[in-house]
Amino acid sequence: MTSYAPADNQQRNTAIFLTVAMAAVVGGALGFEHIGHYIPCKLCLEQRIPYYVGVPVMALAAISATLRWPPVVTRLLLLVGGLLMAWGLFLAVQHSGVEWGWWAGPTDCGVVAPVDTGGKGVLDAINTFVPPSCDQAALRVLGLSFAGWNAIASLILAVVAFRGAFKKA
């Protein structure tokens, strides 16, 4: 592969697909949070970062291919997208391992300080946020938690991005 080979329609379509797919994955997570009322733990929130960064990067890759910027730009942006999804895969596998008890999670995940009600009672502490523990899956679908499904999505998106970046002209 030469990085100066022209970006073609397939790379543009790959970048568009990745933009939409990444937005759909993180949008689904936000939907479960805001519509389904599943409260994300610390590790869940960390897993969203590659998507928050990746969506605009892939949109820029699509613009780059459409406007026929130097081909190396589109290829590098797709490579960055692949690396972001590889990072997302790492984070998702790490979280899944914590949920399955294969290794310990962060010590500050789900730790709640005792609520000081100031002697006023339980009702005054009702607005105190209690974050969920990282080692408890909020929901499992077909045996996989949100983190497990994110690992699969991240793997697929990483492969698609890397194929687009290294595609021979």
What are the domain boundaries of the chain? 9-104+128-166
- The pLDDT score that the predictor gives to residue 67 is 93
Q: Which residue has the tokens 């914590």?
A: 98
Angle between helices 71-99 and 9-34 (to 10 degrees): 30
The string of pLDDT tens digits covering residues 107-159 is 777 655 455 555 566 565 556 656 677 677 676 668 778 888 899 999 999 99
- Tell me the chain's radius of gyration from C-alpha atoms: 20
38: confidence class by pLDDT, cuts 50, 70, 90: confident
Position 81 pLDDT exceeds 90 = yes
Does residue 21 sit in helix, strand or coil?
helix
Q: The CATH number of 9-104+128-166 is which of 3.30.450, 3.40.1350, 2.40.10, 1.20.1550?
A: 1.20.1550
CA 42 vs. chain centroid, Å, equals 13
